[in-house]
Amino acid sequence: MSVMTPTVLAQLPQSLLGVDARTQFGPCYGFTGSRKRKRTEIAAAVDGEALNIYDVQGSKLVSSYAVPPTCLFSCPPCSMRQRQSLGSKTTRYTACAVQTPEQRIQCYEEKFEHTETPVISSHSHIIEEQSPAIHIEFIPIDANRGQPELSPDVIVVHHNGTVRRLSSDLKHTRWVAASVQQSEGRALPPEVLSAHWVSNVDASTGLLQRREDILKDCAACGSSFLILVHRDGDHQKSGLRVGVFNVPMAQQMGFTSSSSGQLRLLLSNPLPESKRWSIATDLHIDFHAPSARLSVSSRNELINYDLSAYIPDISSKLAFDDGHSSLFALDGNTAAGALRSAVQIYDINYQSVKARFGLGTKSRRRGIEDSARKAVRFILYFAKINVLVAVRGRNLTTFNLPRERVKTQRPPQTSSLLIESLGSSTYTSNRVTTHTQAEMGPGFVKALFVPNQLEQAGWEARQKTLDELVQRDQVTEFELFMADELRDTLAEEKDCKKHTPIKLPSEDQFVNYDRIHYLLSKIFHASVLPSVFGDENNQADVVIVFFPPTLFRWLALHSHLRTSEIERASSSELSQPQLRLGAVAISIMKQDPSLGLLADYLRGANVSGLDEAVTIIKVLIKDAAARVQGMAPPQQLLEYPHATIPEEPINHTEKISTLESSPSAPAGSWSETCTAVLVRTLDMLRSFSPVKITTAIRTYLDTDVVLALIQILRQQLFQSGCTSSSSTSCVASEDATLAVETTVLVLCSCIDALGSSGFLGSTFDQGLWQDLVPDLKSEVSLALAGIEEATYLKGVIQEVLRYGNAATSNQALPTDSPFHQFEKPTREIVAIMKANTGSMEEQSRCIREGPSLLPLSLDLENSVSKTKKRKGGGETVERTARELQHLKSRNIGRYSFERLIL
């Protein structure tokens, strides 16, 4: 590996503050949804001069923002580019923290267009905080589907641990959260050294890839994560600690003294062998989100920590006896070090030098500034282009590191000398470094979920009161008490739902998942049923043992009744039950036979997949057949194969046909709610492919149930007017009608799942079987006729629209135009398609009004295009009003109108 000659990217401006001036560098990002992408740009904040943004690949200045001469920056700046929607303008947001003359946050907004110069606007926000800001960064805001992305928010972290969230225009303060030590009940002031924001996507594959419990807790509110590296307690005795916080993506307003509402502590662990950093003042801390690697370096040592493990572990370490001016980790096994006379690339795994580049000196006799004697300080590394950016004096320098050759599977040649093989051996991933508890220190324990201790103690006390209300079956008191617990994190009461008798949080409000977990554990009870085949993996059934109606509907509408959440709420320390498919829906049907709760359950998107949706369809069809018989649903409809099966099976197809064809609703028949429930469940299948739907129908549905489903889908086609000569008005509600595309998709999947053997081997009535196939043929014929009529109508409408668009685009000049007084009417041929009957007044009125025929296959006469193309290069330009009027006047014939009476 060789290092090429460094290139001077730019020469930084000379500050008027002299020796006291500092230059701080920050990254630049581009946001795609909620995931940030690092751009090959760097932001440089020079005290008293300007805030500049440089392009590393192009070696040019991209943007520059001037600042007052007395301005001092307290932390590195941050810049990001965002395009809110496809084809819209690109906006760059650049934020910085100013410490002098007053502590404030400054944000520059720069909008770009293709042909115009960028428009720059500036916003500032004064902070009444004594502690300086050490980190500033932009975080995206999740927008609804189909809507453009919103402007990002600004996260500011102070030296004492205070975290505040501001809007992009700095006019609104979303929230202000206290430090990590105050949230843990410690009185000593903190000292935060570094902060890093991680998106939910990057955390699930890197930082929290082994902590599925934390990811499930934070998935409901669409959260991101904030990593703080800080010192706690006595700075001379304690080492570094790393804390992971939950930052919700929803826009919340307000202030809280605890971090439970807006900033919740998830993990807090000490870094091993970090006591040596207690007195260091030149620490450089960097975090790589995809690999969850935290690099801490000083002048003579560099340690890489792996934060994806249950406890932070040392993955690699590099130490020197002599000091370096800068040490920087390129990846987990490579680092760069800057000496006074050279820049070296180290292999951390083999403790060897991979490349070396000597730094020459410039002669003073030429009168050139001796910037070569300045120390080299590394800033950023761009892995995609393999460029390392450093600063030396006032020069911003880049080092191009060529990529290594890809190593093959073949073993290395043994004929080479030992001196040539140092640092070039084959790396084995099985090489694991073990650490004992004495080496790791007292922090060698399993990292657990860290809630607020004071809040947890209060919740445990209130939990006993709720348990007593459940035992006494006091539903009203339990709902009121639990509603207060659910909305204790809301800023204002106006955000609660108004249509319920008790006020509950809305969908976009943060709710502590511990309360939801407790509520589910009191409502549902899972019991493992004996298996018929005697296997060990027995599945469990779930029963509703306590039913608060208002809270239950709130859980259903907010997607908190998913099978995975109920399994977790019903689990114990020894085992976690695995619920059967459709167990939650069946328990809801037992609780409410009118299927009103089941409609809320389906409306809240609680069904996890295709298998569960098909199972619910099976239960609904069997329940429909039982309702037609005028009796309660039998046990085999709501239980599973281990239950007792009656001797004579129920003919579901005949009962469904009877229900559909009967003019009056029999006793116990379905209502509009029941039909809407089945339609909503069938509508869930449209997001899956036909192959998956066919496989699921063959697996979970019997032949009679599939034939009954075909009858229901035929009824849906008839009600929508697709298989009848005229549209019917059988269904008054739109929720009870299935979309035609979904109906055809499921109907084709049902026929494919049955096949020829399914029709021939069915056990239902032979008379119904003889009528089914001819009915299907006639319905297909009517559908084809409807397609032909729709195609003909489509052609007619296209002609009308074409003629109308041509007439609209060829409008006359406005009345205030100077050429309007010379405009003459164009020549028109008016055909009067009217018999010579009636009075003279009627005939004259028909002549004045003109014909009422459709303009089929007609072109607009004398149309002049408003644009023209130049002959040289084909450029499209607009015609002037004078040229338009000249062309129109040339097209006018001898007579203005010619009337032909036919």
Asked which of 91-100, 272-281, 321-330 is least confident by mean pLDDT, the reply is 272-281
Model confidence at 443, pLDDT cuts 50, 70, 90, reads: very low
pLDDT tens digits, one per residue of 213-227: 788 777 666 678 899
Q: pLDDT of 663-684, one tens digit each?
A: 344 444 456 777 888 888 998 8
- The more confident residue out of 818 and 430 is 818
Phi/psi at 469 (5° precision):
-65, -35
306, 293 in Cβ contact below 8 A? yes
789 within a domain of the structure (yes/no): no
| Backbone φ and ψ of 243, nearest 5° | -120, 135
Q: Containing H/E element for 326?
A: strand 326-329
354 and 502 in a single domain? The answer is: no
* CATH number of the structural domain spanning residue 367: 2.130.10.10
Q: Is residue 779 part of a domain?
A: no
Residues 77, 213, single domain; the answer is yes
Average pLDDT over residues 760-779: 65
Cβ distance 64 to 50 under 8 Å? yes
Token reading at 766: 């032979």
- Shared domain check, 199 and 60: yes
- Judge residue 270's burial from the number of C-beta atoms within 10 Å of its C-beta, 0-12 exposed, 13-18 middle, 19 or more buried: buried
Domain co-membership, 593 together with 660: no
Residues 504 and 542 in one domain: yes
Quote the tokens at residue 542.
């779930």
Strand partners, 52: 44, 64
Domain edge (last residue) among 728, 745, 764: 764
Ordered DSSP codes for 175-189: EEE--HHHHTT--SP
Summarised one tens digit per residue, pLDDT across range 506-528 is 776 767 777 888 888 889 888 77
Q: How confident is the model at residue 145 (pLDDT cuts 50, 70, 90)?
A: very low
Cβ atoms of 284 and 377 closer than 8 Å: no
Per-residue confidence band for 647, with pLDDT thresholds at 50, 70 and 90: very low
* CA–CA gap between residue 174 and residue 277 (Å, rounded): 35
DSSP state of 309: S
**Is residue 288 assigned to a domain?**
yes
Residue 315 or residue 736, greater confidence: 315
Q: Three-state SS across 827-885? A: CEEEEECCCCCCCHHHHHHHHHHCCCCCCCCCCCCCCCCCEEECCCCCCEEECCHHHHH
Work out the angle at residue 420's Cα, subtended by the Cα atoms of residues 414 and 421, and round it to the nearest 5 degrees: 55
What's residue 363's pLDDT? 45
Least confident of 82-86, 186-190, 780-784, 870-874: 186-190
In a domain, 802, yes or no: no
In a domain, 226, yes or no: yes
Determine the 3-state secondary structure of 382 from DSSP. Answer: strand
Q: Report the Cα 201 to chain-centroid distance in Å.
A: 9
Nearest alpha carbon to residue 519 among 493, 490, 484, 491: 484
Higher pLDDT, 360 or 283: 283
Q: Is 770 part of any domain?
A: no
This prediction has a pTM of: 0.47
Q: Residue 433: pLDDT above 50?
A: no
Peptide bond into 152 cis (omega under 30): no
Predicted confidence (pLDDT) at residue 141 exceeds the cutoff of 80: no
Q: Are residues 388 and 497 in the same domain?
A: no
Which of 371, 403, 435 terminates a domain? The answer is 403
Host H or E run for residue 119:
strand 119-126
Mean pLDDT of 14-18: 78
Q: Is the pLDDT of residue 38 over 50?
A: yes
- pLDDT average, residue stretch 571-597: 81
Phi and psi torsions of 38, nearest 5°: -75, 130
- Count of CB atoms situated within 10 Å of the CB of 815: 8
Domain range for residue 843? Answer: 820-901
Residues 533 and 679 in one domain: no
Together in a domain, 461 and 383: no
Q: Concatenated DSSP letters for 258-274? A: STTSS-EEEEEEEPTT-
Same domain, 601 and 618: no
Residue 683 maps to a domain: yes
Q: With bands split at pLDDT 50, 70 and 90, how would you rate the model's confidence at 156? A: very high
Angle, CA 417 vertex, CA 412 and CA 420 arms, to 5°: 75
**What pLDDT, on the 0 to 100 scale, is given for residue 95?**
92
Among 184, 137, 139, 172, residue whose Cα is nearest residue 157: 137
Q: Using the predicted structure, report yes or no on whether residue 408 has a pLDDT greater than 50.
A: no
Query: How confident is the model at residue 753, as a pLDDT?
Result: 86
Query: Given the structure tokens 């043929």, which residue do they identify?
Result: 777
Residue type, 683: D
Listed range (60-69, 433-442, 493-502, 627-636) with the worst mean pLDDT: 433-442
Does the structure show a pLDDT above 50 at 583?
yes
In sequence order, which residues have a C-beta less than 8 Å from that of residue 5 and are 6 or more positions away?
357
Q: Cα–Cα distance between 623 and 387 in angstroms, integer?
A: 67
Q: Identify the sign of the CA torsion 685, 687, 689, 692.
A: negative
Residues 128 and 226 in one domain: yes
First to last CA, the chain: 92
What region does 246 belong to: left with phi over 0, alpha with psi -120 to 50, or beta? beta
Q: Does residue 598 or residue 650 have the better pLDDT?
A: 598
> 11 pairs with which residues across the strands?
395
Q: Determine, yes or no, domain membership for 771.
A: no
User: What's the number of domains the chain is made of?
Assistant: 4
Helix (H) or strand (E) holding 273, with range, is none
Can you tell me whether residue 643 is helix, strand or coil? coil
Last residue of a domain, one of 735, 764, 793: 764
CA distances from 678 to 222, 312, 706, 737, 747 (A): 30, 51, 14, 10, 15
Based on the fold, state whether residues 653 and 573 are members of the same structural domain. Answer: no
CB-count exposure of residue 577 (10 Å: 0-12, 13-18, 19+)? buried
Tell me: pLDDT of 78 over 90.
yes
Six-digit token string for 338 = 């800057």
What is the rounded distance in angstroms from the CA atom of residue 876 to the CA atom of residue 671?
63
Measured from the Cβ of residue 474, the count of other Cβ atoms closer than 10 Å reads 13
Question: Count of residues for the chain?
Answer: 902
The crossing angle, in degrees rounded to 10, of helices 549-557 and 513-523 is 120
The token duo for 294 is 């935290």
Q: Is the dihedral of CA 489, 494, 497, 498 positive or negative?
A: positive
Same domain, 640 and 590: no
